[in-house]
């Protein structure tokens, strides 16, 4: 089957090209890319793509699955469908499941489930799914897992998705992981300083009457991690960066050529602590939303390369979980189906971020953080391609959302922009 994407805006994160072209595909293989194609095979399905955007499939650095253990929140099937619906052709799952992804048997079981889902009819595009193997047993930050054994598996790397508060353990982890040469992701957060806080400490937390979390809960832990990296030399990816001071510390670390990369989440780019005036429990996040200066610093960090990537950090919770007072709600929101449309609408359209930079931060740069090769859109290569229509609107409700959970501030609201088609290896 031949398909022609006629006059589509193609974003190439590797070359930096942003141009309008024709793309000819044959059975999901790219056969031609040109300013205008006239030699079209008979019976080609022609898609009028004026105003639409094409680019490589997106990669999410870290998100949660409900399965195994909390299938009422999200199954692997619903998670994979949500990913494809949002244009994500690769997922990397954090190990906090029940049981945790801290041993070869559980990880193998998860991969078997994914393969079974891909082979089940009807055949449809499916994301590549990898998991982060846990750093500590049962993701409790107390005792390290069998790192060498886990390193022999097809994992994204090592991460708990929880803070490692014990600095002696952190040091040992860095030392043991250095020769294994697997990606390592750490969340800089001091649980003692977080305490019972539920939002960023500051003027807003006082006005809203909610216990605050000081910015130093992140930055003191980050400074400790960076000192360990400087001493030991193990490459580290810093997840969930949320403060202006953190961006400054990472910028300084990169200037010193420390082997670090960093990511923030899409929600921290779109909101700041002023939004909590609504007391919407879907704005309860970990780390909490920063203040306006933090939000600006994160955006500036993306623009100058200090912050490498944008993560979804998809965290499903049931209606009952989230329908409570703000301070009692569990942290996290869903986002796989919402990230690209809302970042495009609120950052690209107003020219706060270029389209190419956004695509790089959601595809090429995550691959680099994962130390993985990146599949560009090239002639005679299998298509790793998504088609996005910024003008198409849809409603984030049970009719359109594939995720089993609906914990998002945009639930039942109109969303501008939608991924209309995905080509990727099943």
Element (H, E) at 93: strand 88-93
Angle at 240 between CA 237 and CA 243, to 5 degrees: 110
CA dihedral 360, 366, 370, 372 (to 10 degrees): -40
Longest dimension (CA), the chain: 67
Q: What three-state secondary structure class fits 212? A: strand
Match 């398909």 to its residue by tokens: 3
The number of beta carbons lying within 10 Å of the beta carbon of residue 230 is 14
Question: Sign of the C-alpha dihedral, residues 353, 356, 359, 360?
Answer: negative
**Cα separation, 389 vs 242, whole angstroms:** 30
Q: Report residue 145 as tokens.
A: 């897992």
Catalytic one among 39, 313, 321, 389?
Answer: 313
Instruction: Identify the DSSP state of 115.
Output: H
Taking residue 124's Cβ as centre, other Cβ atoms within 10 Å add up to 12
Going by DSSP bridges, is the β-strand pair 45-48/29-34 parallel, antiparallel, or unpaired? Answer: unpaired
Q: What token pair was written down for 221?
A: 């832990």
Name residue, tokens 């992804």. Answer: 101
Query: Which DSSP string do the residues of 321-360 spell out, in sequence order?
Result: HHSS-GGGSPS----TTTHHHHHIIIIITTTSS-HHHHHI
Active-site annotation holds for 313: yes
User: Using alpha carbons only, what angle is made at residue 69 by residues 68 and 71, rounded to the nearest 5 degrees?
Assistant: 80
Tell me the DSSP string of 263-293. Answer: EEEHHHHH--GGGGGG--GGG--SSPP--HH
Distance CA 12, CA 337 (A): 22
Catalytic residues: 313
């Amino acid at each position: 089957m031949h398909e022609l994407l006629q006059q589509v805006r193609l974003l190439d994160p590797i070359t930096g090209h942003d141009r309008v072209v024709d793309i000819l595909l044959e059975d999901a293989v790219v056969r031609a890319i040109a300013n205008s194609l006239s030699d079209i095979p008979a019976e080609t399905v022609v898609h009028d793509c004026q105003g639409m955007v094409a680019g490589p499939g997106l990669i999410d650095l870290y998100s949660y699955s409900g399965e195994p253990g909390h299938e009422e929140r999200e199954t692997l099937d619903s998670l994979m469908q949500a990913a494809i619906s949002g244009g994500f052709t690769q997922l990397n799952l954090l190990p906090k499941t029940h049981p945790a992804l801290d041993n070869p048997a559980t990880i193998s079981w998860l991969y078997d489930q994914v393969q079974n889902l891909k082979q089940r009819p009807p055949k449809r595009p499916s994301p590549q799914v990898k998991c982060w193997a846990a750093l500590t047993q049962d993701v409790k930050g107390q005792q390290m897992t069998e790192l060498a054994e886990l390193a022999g598996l097809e994992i994204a790397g090592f991460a708990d998705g929880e803070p490692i508060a014990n600095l002696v353990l952190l040091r040992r982890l860095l030392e043991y992981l250095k020769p294994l040469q697997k990606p390592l992701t750490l969340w800089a957060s001091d649980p003692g300083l977080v305490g019972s806080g539920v939002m960023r400490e500051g003027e807003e937390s006082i006005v809203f009457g909610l216990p605050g979390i000081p910015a130093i809960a992140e930055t003191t832990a980050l400074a400790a991690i960076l000192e360990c990296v400087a001493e030991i030399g193990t490459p580290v990816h810093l997840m969930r960066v949320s403060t202006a001071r953190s961006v400054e510390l990472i910028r300084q670390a990169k200037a010193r050529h420390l082997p670090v990369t960093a990511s923030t989440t899409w929600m921290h780019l779109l909101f700041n602590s002023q939004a909590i005036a609504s007391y919407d429990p879907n704005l309860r996040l970990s780390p909490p939303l920063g203040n306006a200066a933090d939000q600006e610093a994160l955006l500036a960090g993306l623009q100058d390369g200090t912050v490498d990537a944008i993560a979804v950090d998809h965290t499903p919770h049931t209606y009952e979980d989230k329908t409570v007072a703000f301070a009692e709600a569990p942290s996290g929101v869903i986002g796989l189906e919402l990230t690209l449309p809302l970042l495009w609408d609120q950052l690209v359209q107003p020219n706060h971020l270029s389209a190419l930079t956004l695509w790089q931060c959601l595809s090429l740069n995550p691959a680099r953080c994962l130390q993985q090769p990146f599949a560009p859109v090239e002639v005679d290569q299998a298509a790793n391609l998504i088609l996005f229509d910024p003008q198409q609107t849809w409603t984030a409700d049970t009719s359109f959302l594939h995720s089993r959970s609906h914990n998002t501030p945009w639930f039942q609201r109109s969303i501008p922009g939608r991924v209309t088609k995905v080509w990727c290896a099943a």
